[in-house]
Structure 1
Amino acid sequence: MASVYRQAFATPGASRFVPAAFVGRLPISMVAIGIVLYIQHTTGSYGVGGTVVAAGTISEAALAAQLGRALDRFGQARVLLWCLAGHLVGLLGLLVGVGVDAPRPLWYVAGALAGGLLPPVGACVRARWSRLLGGLPLLSTAFALEATLDEVIFICGPVLVTWLVTGVTPASGLAVAGVLAAAGTLALAAQRGSDPGPRPRAASGTRPRVLRDPAVRALLVVIFSVGVCFGGVDLSAVAYGRERGLGALSGLVLGLFAFGSGMSSLLYGARASAGGPTRRFLTAAPLLAVAAWLPLAAPNTAVLLPFMVIAGAGASPTLISANALMERLIPPEARTEGFAWLQVALVTGISAGAPLAGALIDRYGPRAGFTVVAGAGVLVGLAALSARRALRAAEPAGRPATMEPAAGGPTVPVGPAGVGTPAGRSATEAAADRP
């Protein structure tokens, strides 16, 4: 298993952009929880904090397409720096506004700015992998590596931010998140060699309309449902841990969910060639749908902890295969935008799940929040079932192959359609079907 990950990490430039992106997206797992805990400390309500987080994720959804297009068109460095500046202004405004009890609408403005301009480091790093390994079976392994790092982030981030909020000062969680965002984003922006942009405009002067593809829309509906699950897990796990007296370690309950997801992504990446991305996606989503019910079914803490690991194990295969599908469906000149839309679907789902779980927690206690997680499991299963036709219909509909030079390596086929593969199937899928 380790050898295939060593091959991915040996890709030219990966040893530099992977660590930078890891640090730069660590705040993804800290900002939402940091906002909720900071506001809960001031107001006593998880629900108010959840609605401020929702304002940020709605803003992110509104801006993501424009940011994705800008990243593809102008390159990552310029756009990342502007996003970082806006994000830090929003965080500072939120810290000051809540601290001095400014009018509530200002909290939502600051939250929207901080969330909407959170640097899209995850989309950027996946676009770099796609540029270097597009059309090769190793790309799924690279996406699995990124998913594993995401889960490490969601293990470390909640524990770190809850420790800072409860053990240092309520504002320190967001302050540290801002420092980490600045350090990682600046380091990634400085690495121009692996940046897939800027890209010239197409000869026709038009860009592909990502959301016009029914397969893309179906994929996004499933990922939105996964986001609802994550939003419910975030608040419910932390609130449950605090209620049971875990204090600074209350993020550990959520960390176990991320641990299960990280372990499953490692195993998934080692077997990334076992089946095409559509089949893997349509297999993984129903498994997550079932696993999402486990936290609600746990009768006590001793049972809940291993159930959180199992529930988390259902998450990564769904997200990894979704990224592999998006890489196949979207042409290179819009690929960062495509990955950004996946992030939008996920965080929009979180924005729906978090306030709903917060309201239930405020009224009925932390365990009630897990009903959102279980209900989201139903959504995942139904959405995956309804997406089957559109995703399978997209399999034989290949687009003209695009050749793009991988940095430090030979020219390789990238994009939804491969070169020399039957029925327009991608090179990744053709290789996946070999014994």
Structure 2
Amino acid sequence: MIQAAGLSYFPIAFIARMPFAMMVVGVMTLVVAARGSIALGGLTSAAVGLGTALLGPVLGMAVDRFGQRSVVLVAAIGNSLALLAFAWAAFAPVPDIALLGVAFLIGATAPQVSPLSRSRMVGIIQTRLPLRVRAKTLNGTMAYESAADEIVFVFGPVIVGLLATTLNPAAPIIGAALLTLVFTTAFAFHKSSRAVDGHAGAVVDRAPLRELLRAPMLVVVLGVLGMGLFFGAMLTALIAFMGEVAQAEEAGVLYGVMGIGSAILALSVAAFSTRFSLRARWLVFSSALVAGAIVATFATTIPIMILALALAGIGVGPTLVTAYALVAARTPRGRSATAMTIAGSAITVGQASASAIVGLIAEGSGAQLALLTPLCAAVVVFGAGVANWVISSRQPTR
């Protein structure tokens, strides 16, 4: 893959996805600091998620039609401008509704480098690599992509916290705008985009959109949505928990316990035997996610919470790898970018909505009640895995 995509691709694509992981938390942090309202902060985070949910798949459809280069470039410019406008509007004498509108634009213009990177990698595997190595390379590539996502989704909030406390509450949003303008533009113009852009223009018999609404695809999207809910619920509940037992600012360090183990295990998926089927992996590793969430509900001290996060980390990475591998396998012809952006949007929607809801729960009822919400999210992931097992037995994944 390094030879086929180019060595420079991987660091560019990695840094280019960082702003996406900083947006939801950065928006909430800035609003709380500038306007003094946790409720408004939660609403603006939800507005970002809503914009991504409504316009993210549209961006994917545009990529399938016109190619990644032009669509990603336009999105990068628009997203940078929206982020800078939000950094100004948060402190400006503008009404809250205007702030929500700009937050919606941030989500709507998000370039979604992560799902488009997966789509680009799948295109390269299908067009440039020998048939005998495609299945193994796809498995390893999805493992790398999920590990990269894990790292940015865990350390994105940490970077937001560091910039907000050491510089200014607006610094994370301004930093995300600059990263988007530089690295997302580099991602758009990278030579690897030619592999999928040329193919996109050549697809005449593109499958109808209704093919994406079939049960085998919808159940995977539900599982990915559950993972986004888990990310948002766990981080917000952890902040509330640390605010009661220590200092809320230390939550990001503890959250890294889950992310580091998850990233390592996500990479290890490439070494799994093919006899360990995708549907079995989903059930096994989502069970670890549920177990970690159960331990978190009983956490009253930091060591117990560390145990819960480490146990949950066993499940997070491999479950995401499995879900995206199923998305790649079940994508209808000519709809790769659309399918991947739908899955990527599901994570953001889950994270944003859970952050808003759990924040209100924590503020009104305390950390112990908030710590029940990651368990609810983990059950959604496990339930989707059970449904996938039933569907897969009826219609084997190609």
Q: TM-score, structure 2 length as denominator?
A: 0.90
Q: Name the SS of the counterpart of 1:395 in structure 2.
A: coil
Distance in 2, Cα, partners of 1:180 & 1:238: 26
- In percent, how many aligned pairs have the same letter? 23
Q: Name the SS of the counterpart of 1:229 in structure 2.
A: helix
Q: Which moved more, 1:93-102 or 1:320-329?
A: 93-102
Q: CA deviation at 1:274?
A: 4.8
Within a 5 Å distance, the mapping from 1:3-402 to structure 2 comes to 8=1, 10-134=2-126, 135-195=134-194, 196-198=196-198, 199-200=200-201, 202-204=203-205, 207-242=208-243, 244=245, 246=247, 249-271=250-272, 273-395=274-396
The count of aligned residue pairs is: 389
Indicate if the aligned counterparts of 1:295 and 1:304 stay in contact, CA closer than 8 A.
yes
Query: Residues 137-184 of structure 1: CA distance to partner in whole angstroms, max 9, x if unpaired?
Result: 121111111111222213432221101111211111111122122222
Q: CA deviation at 1:294?
A: 2.5
Distance in 1, Cα, partners of 2:33 & 2:20: 21
Provide the aligned C-alpha RMSD in A. 2.2
Letter in 2 for 1:232: A
Q: Name the SS of the counterpart of 2:101 in structure 1.
A: helix
Q: CA deviation at 1:112?
A: 0.6
Distance in 1, Cα, partners of 2:43 & 2:144: 32
Distance in 2, Cα, partners of 1:299 & 1:244: 8
Distance in 2, Cα, partners of 1:206 & 1:261: 35
Distance in 2, Cα, partners of 1:222 & 1:175: 32
Judging by fraction of residues, say which structure has more helix. Answer: 2
Indicate if the aligned counterparts of 1:23 and 1:183 stay in contact, CA closer than 8 A.
no
Q: TM-score, structure 1 length as denominator?
A: 0.83
Specify which structure has the bigger relative contact order, considering alpha-carbon pairs within 8 angstroms and separated by 6 or more residues: 2
Q: CA deviation at 1:205?
A: 6.8
Distance in 2, Cα, partners of 1:11 & 1:239: 46
Structure 1: runs of 5+ lacking an equivalent = 1-7, 397-425, 427-435
Indicate if the aligned counterparts of 2:6 and 2:192 stay in contact, CA closer than 8 A.
no
Q: CA deviation at 1:365?
A: 3.0
Query: Residues 180-235 of structure 1: CA distance to partner in whole angstroms, max 9, x if unpaired?
Result: 22222011111134441242364457645343321001111222222211111232
Q: CA deviation at 1:89?
A: 2.2
Q: CA deviation at 1:329?
A: 0.7
Structure 2: runs of 5+ lacking an equivalent = 127-133
Indicate if the aligned counterparts of 1:262 and 1:313 stay in contact, CA closer than 8 A.
no
Pair 302,103 (structure 1): closer, same or farther in 2 beyond 3 Å? same
Query: Residues 294-314 of structure 1: CA distance to partner in whole angstroms, max 9, x if unpaired?
Result: 322222112212321221221
Letter in 1 for 2:74: W
Q: CA deviation at 1:44?
A: 3.2
Q: 1:419 corresponds to which residue? A: none
Q: Name the SS of the counterpart of 1:72 in structure 2.
A: helix
Distance in 2, Cα, partners of 1:208 & 1:66: 11
Distance in 2, Cα, partners of 1:298 & 1:264: 24
Letter in 2 for 1:175: I
Q: Which moved more, 1:109-118 or 1:230-239?
A: 230-239
Query: Residues 252-293 of structure 1: CA distance to partner in whole angstroms, max 9, x if unpaired?
Result: 122222122112212223326452323322333333233222
Q: Name the SS of the counterpart of 1:15 in structure 2.
A: coil
